[in-house]
Structure 1
Amino acid sequence: MTQIPHRRLALIDLGTNTFHLLIVEMPAVAGDKPLTLLRTKAGVRLGEGGISQGIIAPEAYARALHTLAGFKEEIELHEVKEIRATATSAMRVTRNGPDLVRDIFEQTGIQVDVIPGEREAELICAGVRQAVDLGADPSLIMDIGGGSVEFIVANHSTIFWKQSFEIGAQRLLDLFFPDPSGIFPAAAVEAEQEYLSSVLTPLVEAVHRYKPVSLVGASGSFDSLADMQLGRLRTESELPPCTELEVGSFQASHRHLLSGNHEQRLALPGILPMRADMLVVASVLIDFVLGISEITRIRTSAYALKEGLLAEMLAA
């Protein structure tokens, strides 16, 4: 057995909606699993009020710095020396994204790596494989972020196709549902569906070619739909690696989400307040995916980008 020097690692995923922090103790013996010391997240809404104009708004910018300062305190409390931080759509495409990367480093010492969409898709797939038994048949993996959505057709060993689309939930909200009351008119829902049909042609072609047998959701929207199925909001520590989401349960949640306003959605069991509106556009997107495929099984993965990065590091 190969002994590896004791080390602790912090993995940070700076998403457009949510920042995630995972702190692990790396195994002392090659092949063993790392020990999770902390798994936490914070709703930052980095894309709110600006991403569709190509900027990070001042309030969101301040929330990001505040959240990273809190993460740094946890990192120091756990005596972690090694930090891997990755950022995605909001910092990839905004004019002041590089400024935020600089300010994060100056204020916390955390160096953020802004990764392209294709790399994001690879890491998401690697993370999902740690949580979900994909088997030999292709599955469609889907990660709905605030800025971008990643689609990957893969099985347990091979990625057949992958693509990142800049059609995240915050962008879709800005485009089709700007009404602050959170009412989603049928005409606007239809407009989103038509938009998805035009933008997601490569996905439609990939689905027809590879015929995925199941959908695996790897984002907060899918966690929220699973919470709605359960009828209560689960904490981060309560999430199992994989949850079955019944198609009938999704369809019922989809109808409930479309029929109410913001306040009515907040009253639904299992709804996280920051997702009350974004979950509607995400639900329309999931419904679109089911409509272009013959998928009859949905699973949710609690693991995504940061777990994929960890898996890569363990395999290296």
Structure 2
Amino acid sequence: MTNRKAAIIDMGTNTFHLLLVELNAENFTTIYKEKIPVKIGQGGISKNTITNDASKRAFHTLGHFKNLIDGEGITEVFAFATSAVRNADNGLVFVSEIKSKFGIDVHVIDGDEEAQLIYEGIRFSGALDESTHLMMDIGGGSVEFIIGNNKEAFWKQSFEIGGQRLLDLFHYHDPILDSEVVKLNSFLDEKLKPLINAIELYQPTKIVGASGTFDTLSDMYYESTHAKKRVPELAFFLPRTGFEALAHQLISLEKSERLQIPGMIPMRVDMIVVATCLITFILQYISGDHLICSSFALKEGAISRLVKVDSLAGAVTN
């Protein structure tokens, strides 16, 4: 059976990701990947709308992605849109425009499916073992939490409290004020009651973070220790003490100073403050001495499903 190629487009609230892959037995090879800070939620997420400027940025990026996909001769395209689009009053119009302009069918996924795909991506990375883990993925529009192990997810839920929303609600001063952090924590205390109850029920002993914020935090930690990430590795350890030191820096510095931290990237510099506050809040409930940062998340969860289909087809034909 010849290997097939596929393209995954993850249209997040803050970042659009493109991943071009070649699928093979039980795994995949990355042909090309790119992420662009489209910030589709900017200016409209608190009003449940996608602004004209955000649409323009999205269309420009999708046109660029389509050229790359066509250049590789890929016809299997799997595009997902998450929180900003599913909650926007003009989300369906936006999706239909994408179809007419680029011929791309965008699957607007609900929070439950988003959490499931993130779980499948984290599991695919090999970051899980038989212990009970709390997994989290901080997006711009929503945050997904999953409790489970390398065999199954016991509990999962998506909360519409992503970084762009928290930024709009609480981060009015730079550096963020202590009073803003107090208000943010009170908000989280109220909104995350179902999660806190689930943590008490399932007693996870490890915490796994996926996607942008955790990638950047682990990059900053590795830079601070003058260590290098090994390219083949898909999960990285961030000691709790290392995270706490970074959190203190991020919360106490203004934007221009945060940009000077080795490992920081401009697309994360605003949202990482409230995201760090969220992680700090969650760590009250988990006793582990380190965070596991998974390089795989939603888009790799989608790939894991394609790989399964391919391996099943191979088993049938062999």
TM-score bin, normalised by smaller chain? over 0.9
Say which of 189, 192, 203 aligns to 2:184: 192
Do residues 24 (structure 1) and 21 (structure 2) align? yes
Aligned AA (1:298): L
User: In the alignment, which residue of structure 1 is the partner of 2:11?
Assistant: 14
Show structure 2 runs of 5+ residues with no match.
310-318
Aligned AA (2:198): A
Q: Could you tell me whether the CA contact under 8 Å between 2:207 and 2:286 is conserved in 1?
A: no
- How far 1:296 sits from its partner (Å)? 2.4
User: In the alignment, which residue of structure 1 is the partner of 2:55?
Assistant: 61
Instruction: Tell me whether 188-197 or 34-43 shows the greater mean CA deviation.
Output: 34-43
CA deviation profile, 1:153-190 (whole Å, cap 9, x unmatched): 010011110000000000001001134xx320000011
Q: Could you tell me whether the CA contact under 8 Å between 1:16 and 1:146 is conserved in 2?
A: yes
User: In the alignment, which residue of structure 2 is the partner of 1:44?
Assistant: 38
Matches within 5 A, 1:1-316: 3=1, 5-27=2-24, 31-179=25-173, 182-231=174-223, 240-316=233-309
Q: Could you tell me whether the CA contact under 8 Å between 2:66 and 2:102 is conserved in 1?
A: yes
Q: Could you tell me whether the CA contact under 8 Å between 1:39 and 1:237 is conserved in 2?
A: no
- How far 1:299 sits from its partner (Å)? 0.8
- How far 1:273 sits from its partner (Å)? 1.0
Q: Could you tell me whether the CA contact under 8 Å between 1:11 and 1:85 is conserved in 2?
A: yes
Aligned AA (1:14): M
The separation in 1 between residues aligned to 2:223 and 2:280, in whole angstroms, is 21
The separation in 2 between residues aligned to 1:267 and 1:243, in whole angstroms, is 23
CA deviation profile, 1:98-121 (whole Å, cap 9, x unmatched): 121111111111110000000000
The separation in 1 between residues aligned to 2:56 and 2:193, in whole angstroms, is 37
Q: Moved runs in structure 1, 4+ residues, more than 6 A? A: none
Secondary structure class of the residue paired with 2:262: coil
Question: 1:237 and 1:230, CA in 2 relative to 1: closer, same or farther beyond 3 A?
Answer: closer
CA deviation profile, 1:277-299 (whole Å, cap 9, x unmatched): 20000000000010122232211
Aligned AA (1:116): D
Sequence identity, in percent? 42
The separation in 1 between residues aligned to 2:53 and 2:127, in whole angstroms, is 40
Q: Could you tell me whether the CA contact under 8 Å between 1:213 and 1:296 is conserved in 2?
A: no
Q: Could you tell me whether the CA contact under 8 Å between 2:134 and 2:206 is conserved in 1?
A: yes
The separation in 1 between residues aligned to 2:233 and 2:106, in whole angstroms, is 28
TM-score (norm 2): 0.92
TM-score (norm 1): 0.93
- How far 1:61 sits from its partner (Å)? 1.3
Q: Could you tell me whether the CA contact under 8 Å between 1:89 and 1:147 is conserved in 2?
A: yes
Identify which of structures 1 and 2 has the higher relative contact order when contacts are C-alpha pairs closer than 8 Å and 6+ apart.
2
Q: Could you tell me whether the CA contact under 8 Å between 1:20 and 1:41 is conserved in 2?
A: yes
- How far 1:265 sits from its partner (Å)? 0.9
- How far 1:32 sits from its partner (Å)? 4.1
- How far 1:238 sits from its partner (Å)? 5.2
RMSD: 2.0
Q: Could you tell me whether the CA contact under 8 Å between 2:7 and 2:74 is conserved in 1?
A: yes
The separation in 2 between residues aligned to 1:51 and 1:298, in whole angstroms, is 30
- How far 1:239 sits from its partner (Å)? 7.9
Secondary structure class of the residue paired with 1:26: strand
Q: Could you tell me whether the CA contact under 8 Å between 1:239 and 1:302 is conserved in 2?
A: no
The separation in 2 between residues aligned to 1:100 and 1:201, in whole angstroms, is 33
The separation in 2 between residues aligned to 1:34 and 1:172, in whole angstroms, is 35
Secondary structure class of the residue paired with 2:84: helix
